[in-house]
Amino acid sequence: MPKVGMEPLRRKALVDAALRVIGDHGSLSVTMSEIARQAGVSPALAHHYFGSKDQLLIETIRFLLRRLRDDTVTALRAADTPRARLSALIRVNFQADQFAPATIAAWLAFYAEAQRSEETRRFLVIYARRLRSNLLADLKPLCPTDAAERIAEGAAAMIDGLYIRQSLRSAPISIEASISLTEDYINSALAALAKGQTP
């Protein structure tokens, strides 16, 4: 055989390259040639391993999702109270690598793509649900379930919104400011509840 065992290396290199190209091109309208060139291989090889451009893009979004999930798991492990886990959850979503312009551009591009590709949409729905349910799990110990559901929904929306707004790079908010805005939302929502419960 030839240099056996190239496949996993090439796949990784191609996904990385795809992410980079999408990132600084700011769109999924990138060519296989460009991706392949960035990965240092021929366009034909990219097709050999992924079958189609769509498939390579799907793998790329899976990668983004997996990275976020892994970061989340790690962050949650380090926190031990519900409130601390909420903070960890927020922080993860604004972590440096998630906030990198290229990453933001890629997420955005995939959001747009989700309107066309059912498979892409499924992945993003998974992300959206996961964020919401992670928040929910740690809000439930802190307030009634129905309130927890609303706050989880609101916090998830705020996180996504801050993230998207970042993509415009107008009046860019710092990571810390984004985090504290979300923290404040949860704090005051919980405080308003507590006040309402003991009138």
Q: Which is nearer to DNA, 4 or 171 (CB)?
A: 4
Choosing among DNA, a second copy, none, which partner's interface includes residue 113 (Cβ < 5 to 8 Å by kind)? Answer: a second copy
Q: What is the DSSP letter of 198?
A: -
Q: Which is nearer to DNA, 4 or 96 (CB)?
A: 4
**Min separation Cβ 39 and DNA, Å:** 9
Q: Are 102 and 19 in contact (CB under 8 A)?
A: yes
Residue 65 is a binding residue for a second copy (CB under 8 A)? no
Q: Are 45 and 6 in contact (CB under 8 A)?
A: no
Q: Which amino acid is at 30?
A: V
Question: How many beta carbons lie within 10 A of that of residue 1, not counting itself?
Answer: 4
Would you call 100 helix, strand, or coil by DSSP?
coil
Q: Binding to a second copy (CB under 8 A): which residues in 31-60?
A: none
Choosing among a second copy, DNA, none, which partner's interface includes residue 1 (Cβ < 5 to 8 Å by kind)? Answer: DNA
Q: Is 47 left (phi over 0), alpha (psi -120 to 50) or beta?
A: alpha
Stretch near a second copy under the rule CB under 8 A, chosen from 11-19, 34-42, 137-145, 187-195: 187-195
**Min separation Cβ 100 and DNA, Å:** 24
**Min separation Cβ 117 and DNA, Å:** 13
The H-assigned helical ranges of 31-139 are 32-39, 43-50, 53-77, 82-93, 96-99, 101-113, 118-139
Contacting positions for DNA (CB under 7 A): 1-7, 10, 30-33, 41-45, 47-48, 51-54
Could you tell me which residues come within 8 angstroms of residue 57 by beta carbon, excluding any fewer than 6 positions away?
18, 28, 113, 120
User: CA 23, 29, 30 angle in degrees (round to 5)?
Assistant: 65
Choosing among a second copy, DNA, none, which partner's interface includes residue 78 (Cβ < 5 to 8 Å by kind)? Answer: none
Interface with a second copy (CB under 8 A): 25-29, 105, 108-109, 111-116, 121, 124-125, 128-129, 132, 150, 153-154, 156-165, 167-171, 173, 181, 184-185, 187-189, 191-192, 195
